[in-house]
Amino acid sequence: MLKFFNSLFGRVVIALVAGIVIGAVFPHFAQSLRPLGDGFLKLIKMVIGPIVFCVVVSGMAHAGDLRKVGRVGLKAVIYFEIMTTIALVIGAVLAYATRPGVGMNINLHSLDPASLSTYTEHAKSLKDTAGFLLKIIPDTAINAFATGDILQILVFSVLFGSALSLLGNKAQRVSSLIDELSQVFFRVMGFIIKLAPLGVLGAIAFTTGTYGVESLKQLGMLVLVFYASCFVFVAVVLGIVMRLAGFSVFKLIRYLREELSIVLGTASSDAVLPQIMRKLEWMGVKDSTVGLVIPTGYSFNLDGFSIYLTLAVIFIAQATNTPLSIHDLIVVVLVSLVTSKGAHGIPGSAIVILAATLSAIPAIPVLGLVLILPVDWFVGIARALTNLIGNCVATVVVAVWENDIDRARAHRVLNRDQALRYVPAGEDASAEPTAGEHVPAV
């Protein structure tokens, strides 16, 4: 029991329970704790850009063969598209099987369109495919880091890493400097992550105080179906994929339980991106593969978000008694494959992308989005958890595909071999593996 209380996972769970209690008993005070959650997320986002840059550049510089880097990227994108399509189909199938919106009989004239104004403005920028592709390219390298756009940072990092790799020994000092900067930023992350319990406490207390305890258990059929959909996707689809790769998805989830508990409290996978990259490298995945797949997956492999897209669209159609043809459903899936790629980094991303998707399907009223605004935060928890697990599985699968994983080490780590116990950045390095064990570069 003492070990549980002393662990980060234990402290986060305690903070989660304490936040719910504070929100229920002292709702007004709980709402004032929101800066704790927002501040923690801002601290994390402060170092995400530099860490992604260092990891990607360092990985490419040490990879040697740029053709291999390109091959890894291509395989990752192919995998992303396959899994995203499966997720979209699962959302649609379960929406029709459970029919969460049937019987609501919502009159569109009774809905307030004002609450959607902010989201629809953001959605307009996603209708232009060329504009979206151009947005991937930063105006300046500095601007990419200033705005914290992971995809733009990744584009610049790949170009920088490619140039560094081609220069070889001529750029050795630059390569060494980036390796050392990586260590510094991970140490900074080690300081920040110790504040995770406070961040979780503030986020969950604010939500409970604002919406009430009843909102935690009476979120409606839509939320229940979505959580069930995510469970099916992770346990069955990702479980089969991991089994084919030679590993267990449940052991991977257990290994990442601390990071997942933070996502559970903050409803944001951004909060653990650096730690996830480090832990995957620790379990034996090559750093160049981690550096390419994880950041790319944050924009292109949103499994939980994809499930929610089709589920929410069909829910709105059912709630407003809007008939959908097979053609409409096909359009929903095809449009969602494109619009979902712009989800990361957009304020209120779920509502924004849904607005952009519905605008391409005239049969379904965009105003119906007002129905799901009250539960978006709660749905966001499962979205973020599923997205994160999906990206970690993708990294393992691509690494197996490319033979970029030390299988023996990975099995030992996932089986909780104490000799390979993970040591978070900033903690005593004396607990690291003994000499002779391979420790991935971070």
Using the predicted structure, report yes or no on whether residue 203 has a pLDDT greater than 60: yes
Contact 224, 97 (CB under 8 A): no
Please indicate whether residue 436 or residue 163 has the higher confidence score (pLDDT).
163
Helices (DSSP H) in 237-363: which residue ranges?
239-245, 249-255, 257-266, 273-282, 287-300, 303-319, 326-339, 349-359
Beta strand ranges found along 175-297 (DSSP E) = none
Using the predicted structure, report yes or no on whether residue 395 has a pLDDT greater than 90: yes
Confidence of residue 111 (pLDDT cuts 50, 70, 90): low
Distance of CA 310 to the CA centre of its chain: 18
Confidence of residue 433 (pLDDT cuts 50, 70, 90): very low
pLDDT at residue 129 in the model: 55
Q: How far apart are CA 164 and CA 101, in angstroms?
A: 54
User: Which residues make Cβ contacts (< 8 Å) with residue 250, sequence separation at least 6?
Assistant: 239
Read off the DSSP letter of residue 323.
-
Neighbours of 107 (CB within 10 A): 8
Confidence of residue 139 (pLDDT cuts 50, 70, 90): confident
pLDDT at residue 284 in the model: 93
**Vertex 141 angle, CA 167 and 293, to 5°:** 70
Confidence of residue 228 (pLDDT cuts 50, 70, 90): very high
Mean residue pLDDT of the chain comes to 78
Helices (DSSP H) in 168-256: which residue ranges?
172-193, 196-211, 214-217, 221-232, 239-245, 249-255
Q: How far apart are CA 389 and CA 272, in angstroms?
A: 12
Structure tokens at 261: 């508990």
User: What is the amino acid identity at position 124?
Assistant: K
Q: How far apart are CA 307 and CA 301, in angstroms?
A: 12
Lowest mean pLDDT among 111-125, 146-160, 266-280, 315-329: 111-125
Look-up: residue for tokens 């991977």? 252
Confidence of residue 302 (pLDDT cuts 50, 70, 90): confident
Contact 388, 272 (CB under 8 A): yes
Following DSSP, what letter does each residue of 121-167 receive, concatenated? Answer: HHHHTTS-HHHHHHHTS-SSHHHHHHHT-HHHHHHHHHHHHHHHHHH
Which residue from 59, 410, 425 is spatially nearest to 272, judged by alpha carbons?
425
Q: How far apart are CA 341 and CA 204, in angstroms?
A: 28
Look-up: residue for tokens 């709702």? 27
User: How do residues 145-196 score in pLDDT, each as one tens digit?
Assistant: 888 777 788 788 888 888 888 887 888 899 889 888 888 887 887 788 788 8
Question: Residue 405 forms beta bridges with which residues?
Answer: 285
By CB atoms closer than 10 A (0-12, 13-18, 19+), residue 10 is middle
Contact 92, 310 (CB under 8 A): yes
- Average pLDDT over every residue of 321-349: 69
Q: How far apart are CA 332 and CA 437, in angstroms?
A: 49
Please indicate whether residue 432 or residue 403 has the higher confidence score (pLDDT).
403
Q: Which CATH number fits domain 2-212+219-418: 1.10.3860.10, 1.20.1440.230, 2.40.50.1070, 1.20.950.20?
A: 1.10.3860.10
CA atoms within 13 Å, Cβ hemisphere of 272: 29
Please indicate whether residue 247 or residue 23 has the higher confidence score (pLDDT).
247
Using the predicted structure, report yes or no on whether residue 116 has a pLDDT greater than 60: no
Lowest mean pLDDT among 145-154, 247-256, 359-368, 372-381: 359-368
pLDDT at residue 241 in the model: 96
Q: How far apart are CA 355 and CA 311, in angstroms?
A: 14
pLDDT at residue 386 in the model: 94
| CA dihedral (269, 272, 278, 283) positive or negative | negative
Q: What are the structural domain ranges in the chain?
A: 2-212+219-418
User: How do residues 30-89 score in pLDDT, each as one tens digit?
Assistant: 889 888 888 887 887 788 788 878 877 877 776 656 677 778 888 888 999 899 899 999
Look-up: residue for tokens 């096909």? 330
Following DSSP, what letter does each residue of 60-119 receive, concatenated? Answer: HHHH--HHHHHHHHHHHHHHHHHHHHHHHHHHHHHHHHH-TTTT----GGGS-GGGGHHH
Q: What's phi and psi for 405, nearest 5 deg? A: -135, 140
For helices 273-282 and 376-402, angle between their N-to-C axes, nearest 10 degrees: 30
Confidence of residue 411 (pLDDT cuts 50, 70, 90): very high
Helix (H, G, I), strand (E, B) or coil at 426: coil
In total, the chain counts a number of residues equal to 442
Q: How far apart are CA 148 and CA 153, in angstroms?
A: 8
Distance of CA 273 to the CA centre of its chain: 8
Using the predicted structure, report yes or no on whether residue 429 has a pLDDT greater than 60: no
- Average pLDDT over every residue of 342-354: 58
